[in-house]
Amino acid sequence: MKFGSQTFANLSLAFVLVFSLCTLYFFKWNGTSENFRAVNGDGRDYYSFLVAAFIDHDLSKPQPELSQSVETPTGNVNTHTIGVSLLLLPFFLIGMLSAKMFGFSINGLSEPFQISVSIGALFYCLLGLIFLRKLLIKNNFADKTIAAILLFVFAGTNLLFYTLGESSMSHVYSFFLVTCFLYSSNMFFESGQRNYFFKMTFLLSLIILVRPVNSIIVLFLPFFCNSFSEFFAKLKSVFLSVKTLLPSLLILITVLSLQSLLWYKQNGKILQDTYKGNGFYFTNPSPIKMLFGFDSGLFIYSPLCLLLLVGLIYVFKQSHFKFFVSAFFILFTVYLFSSYWAYNYYDSFGMRPFVDFFAVFAIAGAFLLRDSGKRILKPVLYSLFSLSTILSLIYSYQAQKGIFTMTGMNSEKFSYVFLKTGKEYEGCLGGSSDIKPYSLKDQASFYNYENLFSDSTSSKKGYFEFNKTEWGPGYYLDKLGFNSKLLYTKIKFKRQEVKPNSSFNGLLVCSVESKTKEPKCYQTYRMNETPSASCCEWKEYEYAVTMAGNFIADDKVNIFFWNKEKTDFNVDDLKIEIYKE
């Protein structure tokens, strides 16, 4: 890095590095081994190829402990693609070497491996920010504007969380690749040099290997031209040049064939639908919920993103064409992502798919900071950007500490823990609001159960009394009666506390076990969505729970209340519906 004309931007990058290392040390590496965990959630599947290749020495089937897999008639295949593993390969090898040197388990999950994944994610985040700086320089933004954008985009959005908190997820790697792709594209459309087109092709191939849907970034490419006629003229020059077209096709095919070769090794086919059972509601998208909903809404948990998009006003003032390209890309992306059946993307903090495209948001934000020339407006903007960043940092801390739930947040839960960081708030939220799986879209419930306690033998009052009682009422299905990968359950009940917060530790248990009592799924939820603020009135709850596993007809389903602290409260009007896949 050269210091000079970009001194402030380089200082921003240095700050990101130091801040990130300090955060990793104090919040990840300075504590129990559980704190070190960087491989988690879907990231386990993205990462599993490395364990399969270098520890198990078997890529012919999904790694049993880490992988998410899809069954096919000729064998199982991994749900996710190999791109993240390819990018993490050098860091994995460093982790393996460190584990051997210092006597840690060579299992892919011991502390040296976890640290190497965290370092790898930070490395690619910094590279992404470096190329974002280069992209902004090419578009004539000043050093101080670039420095501010780099800091705000990192610290003021969930990019920080998906770099330092969920390091094995695909998003920080996609952010890096997409940003590099945009920079190479800018250089190609400016210079026409074929080596930049080769870089574009290589980067697009990796983008597809990491997260195939992100190939939609090609829709943003006209931004680097002044008209569609100029854009298509540049592309025409590529297609008319054998020296450009053939090597580009070779690069694309070679890189993508890595995934096809793996699939072929796993089940004998070079093309797969690994998202079987997932789909889109293209005629019924949920953009408002996805952007402004409390269940992972983008503008709720990363309000800076909304401010950045205000910069489109100044894009419009400079170029109507660039504005319409930007607006179309953003609107199409919102439409596509909000059409996905699980518009909240499950365990998502602040709508994670948008992290991949933060370079586009950053360009709009740079226009805003540069071109809002009024003396009064600029300090107001920087104040709003700073406030949004502080909020995002607090939210990231809350998500990391389990103060926020990663799915199922609502206005009541959000309000209860808003800006709360105390240890007493960790894990205090309950309930479950899983979205009905796509495969169950039009299905009616398969089993229905109702207990109104009007004839209850446990109480003469017409409801169930937890009077120093540990185990409460429930639904016990001796035989499921069918094979399924998913069970979706709706549960309704009323709860009354005898004294303030007496049901705080009451749990709703949803489990599936084999006829030999082997657990196949065991999930618990706090009965109360939030700790009670008052006492003694009846409150109605409605929960939705998805249970996943290899369930067979002889399995037993248990849904019941567990009062493990044996406190006093009452339950009434229990209703349960079970849906099969």
User: In the numeric block, which tokens belong to residue 96?
Assistant: 């393996």
Please count the helices (runs of H) and the strands (runs of E) in the chain: 18, 11
Digit-coded pLDDT (tens) for 200-238: 999 999 999 999 999 999 999 999 999 999 999 999 999
* pLDDT at position 2: 44
Domain 438-580 -> CATH class:
mainly beta
* pLDDT at position 556: 96
- CA–CA distance, 329 with 223 (Å, rounded to integer): 10
- CA–CA distance, 371 with 351 (Å, rounded to integer): 29
Query: Greatest CA span in the chain, whole angstroms?
Result: 87
- CA–CA distance, 209 with 13 (Å, rounded to integer): 27
Phi/psi of residue 494, each to 5°? -115, 145
pLDDT band at 67; cut points 50, 70, 90: confident
Mean pLDDT calculated for residue range 335-351: 92
pLDDT band at 509; cut points 50, 70, 90: very high
* pLDDT at position 481: 92
- CA–CA distance, 39 with 48 (Å, rounded to integer): 10
Q: Tell me the one-letter amino acid at 144.
A: K
- CA–CA distance, 580 with 577 (Å, rounded to integer): 10
* pLDDT at position 455: 60
Digit-coded pLDDT (tens) for 131-163: 999 999 999 999 999 999 999 999 999 999 999
For the chain, percent of residues with pLDDT exceeding 70: 97
Yes or no: say if 341 and 280 are a contact pair by the CB < 8 Å rule. yes
pLDDT band at 375; cut points 50, 70, 90: confident
- CA–CA distance, 378 with 365 (Å, rounded to integer): 12
pLDDT band at 342; cut points 50, 70, 90: very high
Digit-coded pLDDT (tens) for 267-287: 999 998 888 778 999 999 999
pLDDT band at 1; cut points 50, 70, 90: very low
Higher pLDDT, 271 or 320: 320
User: In the numeric block, which tokens belong to residue 164?
Assistant: 């330092």
- CA–CA distance, 466 with 28 (Å, rounded to integer): 40
Label residues 385-412 b or e (16+ Cβ within 10 Å = b): bbebbebbeebbbbbbeebbbbbbbbee
Yes or no: say if 571 and 532 are a contact pair by the CB < 8 Å rule. no
Digit-coded pLDDT (tens) for 559-576: 999 999 999 999 999 999
Yes or no: say if 406 and 451 are a contact pair by the CB < 8 Å rule. no
Q: Which helix (H) or strand (E) holds 224?
A: none
Digit-coded pLDDT (tens) for 358-372: 999 999 999 999 998
Mean pLDDT calculated for residue range 531-560: 91
pLDDT band at 65; cut points 50, 70, 90: confident
Chain centroid, CA 305 distance in Å: 16
Higher pLDDT, 293 or 452: 293
- CA–CA distance, 60 with 69 (Å, rounded to integer): 12
Domain residue spans in the chain? 7-400, 438-580
Distances (CA, A) of 539 to 2, 184, 405, 492: 63, 57, 21, 11
Contacts by 451-457 with C-beta closer than 8 Å and gap 24+?
A: 451/573, 451/574, 451/575, 452/572, 452/573, 452/574, 453/571, 453/572, 453/573, 453/574
Please check the confidence at residue 534 and state whether its pLDDT lies above 90.
Answer: no
Return the closest-CA partner of residue 575 out of 548, 551, 546, 544: 544
Digit-coded pLDDT (tens) for 158-189: 999 999 999 999 999 999 999 999 999 999 99
For the chain, percent of residues with pLDDT exceeding 90: 80
Label residues 453-488 b or e (16+ Cβ within 10 Å = b): beebeeeeeebbbbeeeeebbbbebeebeeebbbbb
- CA–CA distance, 299 with 306 (Å, rounded to integer): 6
Beta strands 556-562 and 471-477 are antiparallel
- CA–CA distance, 252 with 88 (Å, rounded to integer): 20
pLDDT band at 35; cut points 50, 70, 90: low
Question: Helix-strand-coil percent breakdown of the chain, rounded to 5?
Answer: 50, 15, 35
Residue 40, class by beta-carbon neighbours within 10 Å (0-12 exposed, 13-18 middle, 19+ buried)? middle
* pLDDT at position 32: 66
Encode 270-319 in three state secondary structure: CCCCCCCCCCECCCCCCHHHHHHCCCCCHHHHCHHHHHHHCCHHHHHHHC
* pLDDT at position 3: 40
User: In the numeric block, which tokens belong to residue 205?
Assistant: 């191939």
